[in-house]
Structure 1
């Protein structure tokens, strides 16, 4: 378990460093990407394109391993269709992203670079996670 925790920490640190280097910890970049008819900033498209290209190239090779290096099995989604919960969650996520300019990864990385916005966003994110757990427990 210690190796798994260290790998998770290293992965998170690498992800956060990449977000910080690309400027994605700045919510103005994200909001600029969403502002198609104003001060449009295409930077996020390049970051997203790099992530999608990397995944397309390497995902099949990773899955050929049979199991992850530090776990017994891969934990992949079994969902095969689109339902109301997925659409509703995507809509809420998108609205929050559009209002704040943050999603969870960049918000946590933003804490690491001292972003004032992240100090407001992360507690709201945690409250949303708690609300989700309470609603789904019933």
Structure 2
């Protein structure tokens, strides 16, 4: 059951992306072009996502533990900070320039389009660069803490 639940969730999510047109960059860019030839049809997708997720989160908040897992994995931070705003801005700029976000980009790999492959490789490289940067920041912070502990 531990493998089947994520597989089914992924299949439903992928089918939703495909049916909604979110894997078509022209459709997404049309939605983002609010001052031009705006295509509001993806608004239906967003409303449907909220209609499903809000009751789901409300149900989860009442549960002591997940139905198919040992524990919940919730984010530790809930505030808005500079890394969150910066990441959201970078995501938005990338989405606006290309018309793809990570989920639809991965699903679009099935087309073997060179542009999609380049996008996914660049996205993966950006994720790896971020992880390396975070690790170097943590290592520097640990060495500063060790140095101050040794001094004090």
| Shorter-chain TM-score above 0.5 | yes
Of the three residues 92, 95, 106, the one matched with 1:94 is: 92
| TM-score, normalising length: structure 1 | 0.90
Return the index of the structure with the highest Cα Rg.
2
Tell me the residue number matched to 2:46: 48
Relative contact order (alpha carbons < 8 A, sep ≥ 6): 1 or 2 greater?
Answer: 1
Q: Is the partner of 1:15 in helix, strand or coil?
A: helix
Residue 64 of structure 1 pairs with residue 62 of structure 2: yes
- RMSD over aligned CA atoms reads 1.4
Q: Is the partner of 1:4 in helix, strand or coil?
A: coil
Of the three residues 16, 19, 22, the one matched with 1:24 is: 22
Gaps of 5+ in 1: none
Q: Find runs of 4+ consecutive structure 1 residues off by over 6 angstroms.
A: none
1:33 positional shift: 0.8
Gaps of 5+ in 2: 137-152
1:57 positional shift: 2.2
1:94 positional shift: 0.7
1:115 positional shift: 5.9
| TM-score, normalising length: structure 2 | 0.82
1:5 positional shift: 2.8
The size of the alignment, in residue pairs, is 135
1:76 positional shift: 1.2
Partner Cα separation in structure 1 for residue 112 and residue 16 of structure 2: 16
